[in-house]
Amino acid sequence: MQILYHPPQNLLSDYIQHIVYVNGTIDMPHINELPEGGVNLVIELNEHTTNYVYSEGIKKQPNKIKKAWITGFQKQSLIYKNNQNSRIISVRFKPGGFFMLTKTPINVIPFAGIEAIEILGDSFKACYQEVLNSKSIVDSFKAIEGYFLKKSFEFSIEQKVIEFASLNAHQPLDWVVEKTGYSQKHFIHLHKKLTGFTPKYFQRVKRLQNVIKVLQHHTGRIDWFALLNRYGYFDQAHLSKDFKAITGLTPTEYLIAMKANNYNKEISDMVFNPPFQEIRK
């Protein structure tokens, strides 16, 4: 598998966390995409390839998606059917970044996995073709950056508020709201508009992602008590409940997936394994 990370140009770095290219074959039927607090624009480089995403569980009918789609704001993990012909570029936006560049409120996007053109309109068609026609992946990165550099850049106190909330997601929510100077009602509305999450759920996602990052790089025995205490979980049952609700896996199942595939350490919001019931077969 080939994975290339690209940091955005300075003007875009306030809005985009990174752009990553992924190409390669992994012998497994499904891949999980975890929510992480930011929006993803995923671009399929094989023009005639159809991808399938299960947004309501593996037993439901999958959505067919082509060309490019938007994810990341879903409350639970998405499950992709692993497409051996897929080559993708994923643009990860910082919390609030997608809204600031596209002026699209995240809470009006009907579902994760929606085709990007339905949200971004015809202007994205030209960008997509330029990405496909690029002679190298570096040129594809430049084409994507060029598309977003055409957007208006204005200072926004709203984005700074969300950035502050993201950086302080470990703090009590009442403290965060008080520091913003907004009423709780206004803050909740703003947070949903820019991230798709309520502030409370956003904090759950960010806290769990901190735990996941520790698990990704652990060696040897895990000190679960220290982990629970560090990130404010009441007990192991509390962590397991959050883990299952958001990722679809228990902590133990996630660790099994981690050991099964080293690529889980390279892309933090993806789990390269089938749903756990298939591991047991």
The DSSP annotation for 150-219 comes to TS-----HHHHHHHHHHHTTTS-HHHHHHHHT--HHHHHHHHHHHHSS-HHHHHHHHHHHHHHHHHHT--
Bridge partners, 34 (sequence order): none
Give the residue from 67, 9, 70 showing the smallest Cα distance to 39.
Answer: 70
Residue 25's pLDDT band (cuts 50, 70, 90): low
Q: Which residue has the higher pLDDT, 38 or 186?
A: 186
Superfamily of domain 2-149: Jelly Rolls (2.60.120.10)
Structural contact between residues 77 and 32, judged by C-beta atoms closer than 8 angstroms: yes
- What is the distance, to the nearest Å, from the Cα of residue 172 to the centroid of all Cα atoms in its chain? 24
**Lowest-confidence region among 84-88, 94-98, 114-118:** 84-88
Q: Go through the chain and tell me how many residues it has.
A: 281
Dihedral in degrees, nearest 10, Cα atoms 145, 147, 151, 156: -40
Q: What are the tens digits of pLDDT across the range 148-158?
A: 999 877 778 88
Q: What are phi and psi of 92, to 5 degrees?
A: -100, 120
- Measure the CA–CA gap between 39 and 142, rounded to whole angstroms: 20
pLDDT of residue 3: 84
